[in-house]
């Protein structure tokens, strides 16, 4: 008997002014020990289907199904107590956003122990001991301490692991992982995926992996379900689907995975670069409480960084989470005041200009924010949001502004009637496109795009990237492209700047960087890119910060022409290729 049996699932949501169908005719099964992936575009009903299985949908949801069984229990007929027993024990879930998934006022230890005790009769102390073991299992080194930590004291990656530990704590027969890695950077993502796979094997659990990232699927599962628009498009063994997709949507999905983009043509202009950062740095004052004391400190978010964005080029800024990419991008826009350094736009230093003098530059430089959800005013309709730049700069009549906004809506691949909608009514990918439309409507010459495609599924991503390319060609747009997604970087950008802990550790033309990475961090980063082919699944090793430091490359004076120094410095080892290294005499 299969562990999960879903037959003819249909979920709709009651809303003001009618019902919305989220999921229709969904049927699939999962047997014990099996791992199944659900892929599909954003908003296709992946999360809703799984939540329906655990009856975790809000009260406005109406769930119908011919069969909806979990571990032999008819979920639709189960009462509250049965459900409580079923949840956690038969199936546990890892949620998309670990930051909001923990109760902020209880310690991690309490929350894990509580889960254990909800399902088994054990003492508090034993439960805590078990929790510690679980934390160790998910490779949290200082597990004993972490037990006493509150959620906000952990980083996103650690929380995600604690979340997995919590899910494992009830020894579920089925683990549902809902996009467990979207919020994480590639290196952590790879670690988490590997971890999930390992514990799955160890505990002999079945796994449902929800994602829109085909690479993740290729890496982790045996069987795949492809969803689109609330329905299942295709289902089959992962190798079969990857090698011989039947459905059109699956085909485009896979096609986009293998597409290649051409690097920008023509030699860069010799005139001043579109944007140049000279020695910019940013330090934050931090205040940490320890007990009742406040410890004041300086945190170097960005150490002296030089970045050149030549005209009509796309430069990528990559690096681990928290390495200062966003901060650099914001400083370039003068949205965060740099602590030091100059910002040159077309050769003019704008780092000292007052707000009024900045306005003409603001028209030429735009930014797409990393978090598209908070970057859109929740009280404004999309048409208003996109037209806002025109409104601020007083371009055209209100009618023309709206009209132009609606055109841009189409250009980024959204229907015109979305103009009436609000940000919260969109999926993540749709929101990101709105943010891009807003940034581009003024037809700027410089664009700082901070993870503009992180929430997009591959098809839409391809569309957006095409759009960016096209604009680059049409408008002579220069883009500083901040991203975690190395495959996109590889296919889109002309050169890459790698940041690590607030410093630039390597910089090179794209092809050269991917071919000959020098810095150990760059290598680790490239190594973490998920495979695009299920047959390429492999085990990875991960470097710790100390190991990276220890492996800093060494060059001689002759190789680099720089003065020898025991401290690492950026040295040029080939035209356009700089790397942080220790120069030995």
Ligand X SMILES: Nc1ncnc2c1ncn2[C@@H]1O[C@H](COP(=O)(O)OP(=O)(O)OP(=O)(O)O)[C@@H](O)[C@H]1O
Segment 462 to 481, residues that bind other proteins, using CB under 8 A: none
Q: Give the nearer residue to other proteins in terms of CB position, either 87 or 484.
A: 87
Look up residue 500 and give its DSSP letter.
Answer: E
| Cα 193 from Cα 180, distance rounded (Å) | 8
- Could you say which of 193, 218, 232, 376 contacts other proteins (CB under 8 A)? 376
Question: How many CA atoms within 13 Å lie on the side-chain side of 298?
Answer: 7
Among 3, 34, 43, 365, binds ligand X (CB under 6 A): 43
Burial 363-381, CB ≥16 within 10 A → b, else e:
bebbbbbbbbeebbeeeeb
493 near ligand X, rule: CB under 6 A: no
| Near other proteins in 248-307, by CB under 8 A | 287-294
Cβ 255 to other proteins, closest distance in Å? Answer: 17
Selection from Mg ion, ligand X, other proteins, none that 301 binds (CB < 5 to 8 A by kind) is ligand X
Distance, in Å, from the CA atom of 330 to the CA atom of 370, rounded to the nearest integer, reads 11
How far is 253 from 185, CA to CA, in rounded Å?
22
Q: Is 355 in the site for ligand X (CB under 6 A)?
A: no
Instruction: By CB under 6 A, name the one of 180, 215, 428, 530 that touches ligand X.
Output: 428
CB of 22 to other proteins, least distance (A): 6
Site string for other proteins, 490-529 (x = CB under 8 A): ----------------------------------------
Sole window of 185-193, 297-305, 416-424, 481-489 interacting with other proteins (rule: CB under 8 A): 416-424
**CA-wise closest residue to 375 among 309, 313, 413, 329:** 329
477 binds, among Mg ion, ligand X, other proteins, none (CB under 5 to 8 A by kind): none
Single out the segment in contact with ligand X by CB under 6 A; choices: 26-34, 37-45, 348-356, 517-525: 37-45
| Residues 7 to 46 in contact with other proteins, rule: CB under 8 A | 13-18, 20-22, 24, 41, 43-45
- Nearest residue (CB) to other proteins, 407 versus 556: 407
- Give the count of residues interacting with other proteins (CB under 8 A): 102
Longest dimension (CA), the chain: 77
Identify residues 199-238 at the interface with ligand X (CB under 6 A). Answer: 212
413, 414, 419, 422: CA torsion to nearest 10: -120
CA-to-CA dists, residue 311 to 254, 494, 514, angstroms: 33, 11, 23
Are 325 and 302 within 8 A, CB to CB? Answer: no
Decide if residue 333 touches other proteins (CB under 8 A). yes
Out of ligand X, Mg ion, other proteins, none, which partner does residue 89 contact, by CB within 5 to 8 A per kind? other proteins
By CB under 8 A, is residue 392 in contact with other proteins? yes
Minimum separation from the CB atom of position 277 to ligand X (A) = 14
Residue from 4, 6, 9, 22 binding ligand X (CB under 6 A): 22
Hunting for tokens 């929380």 — which residue is that?
Answer: 159
* Minimum gap (Å) between residue 319 Cβ and other proteins: 20
Q: How far is the CB of 186 from ligand X (least distance, A)?
A: 10
CA separation (Å) from 367 to 127, 349, 375, 454, 482? 49, 18, 11, 15, 11
Q: How far is the CB of 135 from ligand X (least distance, A)?
A: 23
Kindly identify the residues of this chain, within the stretch 160-189, that bind ligand X according to CB under 6 A: 185
**Hey, what's the torsion of the CAs at 93, 94, 99, 103, to 10 degrees?**
30
CB nearer Mg ion, residue 23 or residue 434:
23
- Residue 107 binds ligand X, judged by CB under 6 A: no
| Using rule CB under 6 A, residue 452 touches ligand X | no
* Shortest distance, position 300 Cβ to other proteins, whole Å: 17
Compare residues 90 and 432 and give the one whose CB is closer to ligand X. 432
Q: How far is the CB of 298 from ligand X (least distance, A)?
A: 10
Instruction: State the angle between helix axes of 108-119 and 124-137 in degrees (0 to 180), rounded to the nearest 10.
Output: 110
Where does residue 562 rank: exposed (0-12), middle (13-18), buried (19+ CB within 10 A)?
middle
Residue 326 makes contact with ligand X by CB under 6 A? yes
The stretch among 41-49, 141-149, 190-198, 436-444 that binds ligand X (CB under 6 A) is 41-49
DSSP 455: T
Q: Is position 444 an interface residue for ligand X (rule: CB under 6 A)?
A: no
* Separation CA 564–CA 583 (nearest Å): 5
Whether the CB-CB separation of 333 and 365 falls below 8 Å is answered with: yes
Question: What's the Cα-to-Cα distance from 275 to each of 47, 186, 331, 339, rounded to whole Å?
Answer: 41, 27, 12, 18
- Exposed e or buried b per residue across 321-353, where buried means at least 16 C-beta atoms within 10 angstroms of its C-beta: bebbbbbbbbbbbbebebbebebbbbeeebbeb
Could you list the beta-strand ranges (E) of 464-543.
478-482, 495-500, 503-509
- Please identify, among the stretches 434-442, 513-521, 555-563, 566-574, the one whose residues bind other proteins according to the rule CB under 8 A: 434-442
Of 159, 212, 189, residue with least CA distance to 455 = 212
511: Cβ contacts below 8 Å, ≥ 6 apart: 263
Q: Does 101 bind other proteins (CB under 8 A)?
A: yes
Radius of gyration from C-alpha coordinates of the chain? 25
- If contact means CB under 5 to 8 A according to the sort of partner, which of Mg ion, ligand X, other proteins, none does residue 461 touch? none
Q: Looking at residues 195 to 254 of the shown chain, list those that interact with other proteins (rule: CB under 8 A).
A: 229-231
Q: Which residues bind ligand X (CB under 6 A)?
A: 13, 20, 22, 40, 42-48, 58, 60, 185, 212, 284, 286, 299, 301, 319, 321-327, 370, 427-428
């Amino acid at each position: 008997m299969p562990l999960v049996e879903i037959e003819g699932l249909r979920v709709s949501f009651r809303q003001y002014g009618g019902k919305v169908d989220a999921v229709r005719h969904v049927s699939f099964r999962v047997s014990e020990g099996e791992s199944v992936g659900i892929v599909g575009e954003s908003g296709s009903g992946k999360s809703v289907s799984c939540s329906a299985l655990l009856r975790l949908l809000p009260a406005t949801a109406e769930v119908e199904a011919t069969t909806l069984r979990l571990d032999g229990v008819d979920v639709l007929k189960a009462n509250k107590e049965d459900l409580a027993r079923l949840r956690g024990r038969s199936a546990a879930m890892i949620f998309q956003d670990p930051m909001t998934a923990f109760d902020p006022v209880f310690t991690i230890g309490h929350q894990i122990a509580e889960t254990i005790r909800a399902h088994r009769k054990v003492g508090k102390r034993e439960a805590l001991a078990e929790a510690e073991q679980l934390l160790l299992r998910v490779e949290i080194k200082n597990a004993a301490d972490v037990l006493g930590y509150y959620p906000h004291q952990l980083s996103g990656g650690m929380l995600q692991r604690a979340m997995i530990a919590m899910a494992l704590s009830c020894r579920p027969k089925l683990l549902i992982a809902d996009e467990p890695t979207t919020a994480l950077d590639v290196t952590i993502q790879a670690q988490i995926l590997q971890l999930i796979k390992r514990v799955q094997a160890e505990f002999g659990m079945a796994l449902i992996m929800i994602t829109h990232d085909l690479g993740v699927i290729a890496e982790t599962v045996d069987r795949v379900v492809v969803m689109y628009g609330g329905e299942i498009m295709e289902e089959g063994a992962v190798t079969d689907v990857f090698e011989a997709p039947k459905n059109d949507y699956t085909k485009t999905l896979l096609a986009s995975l293998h597409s290649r983009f051409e690097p920008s043509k023509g030699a860069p202009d010799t005139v001043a670069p579109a944007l140049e950062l000279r020695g910019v740095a940013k330090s934050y004052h931090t205040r940490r409480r320890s007990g009742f004391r406040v410890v004041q400190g300086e945190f170097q978010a960005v150490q002296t960084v030089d970045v050149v964005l030549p005209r009509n080029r796309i430069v990528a800024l990559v690096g681990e989470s928290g390495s200062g990419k966003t901060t650099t991008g914001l400083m370039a826009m003068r949205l965060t005041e740099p602590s030091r350094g100059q910002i040159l736009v077309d050769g003019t230093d704008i780092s000292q200009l007052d707000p009024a003098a900045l306005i003409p530059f603001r028209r030429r430089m735009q930014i797409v924010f990393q978090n598209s959800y908070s970057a859109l005013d929740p009280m404004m309709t999309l048409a208003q949001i996109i037209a806002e730049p025109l409104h601020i700069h007083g371009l055209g009549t209100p009618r023309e502004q709206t009209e132009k906004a609606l055109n841009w809506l189409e250009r980024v691949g959204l229907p015109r009637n979305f103009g009436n909608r609000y940000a919260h009514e969109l999926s993540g990918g749709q929101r990101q496109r709105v943010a891009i439309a807003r940034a581009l409507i003024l037809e700027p010459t410089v664009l700082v795009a901070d993870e503009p495609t992180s929430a997009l599924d591959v098809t839409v991503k391809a569309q957006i990237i095409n759009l960016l390319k096209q604009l680059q060609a049409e408008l002579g747009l220069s883009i500083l492209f901040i991203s975690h997604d190395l495959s996109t970087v590889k296919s889109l950008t002309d050169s890459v700047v790698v940041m690590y802990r607030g410093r630039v550790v390597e910089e090179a033309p794209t092809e050269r960087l991917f071919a000959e990475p020098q810095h150990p961090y760059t290598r680790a980063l490239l190594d973490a890119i998920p495979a695009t082919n299920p047959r390429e699944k492999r085990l990875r090793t991960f470097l710790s910060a100390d190991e990276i430091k220890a492996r800093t490359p060494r060059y001689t004076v002759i190789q680099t022409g720089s003065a020898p120094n025991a401290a690492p410095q950026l040295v040029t080892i080939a035209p356009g290729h700089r790397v942080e290294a220790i120069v030995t005499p």
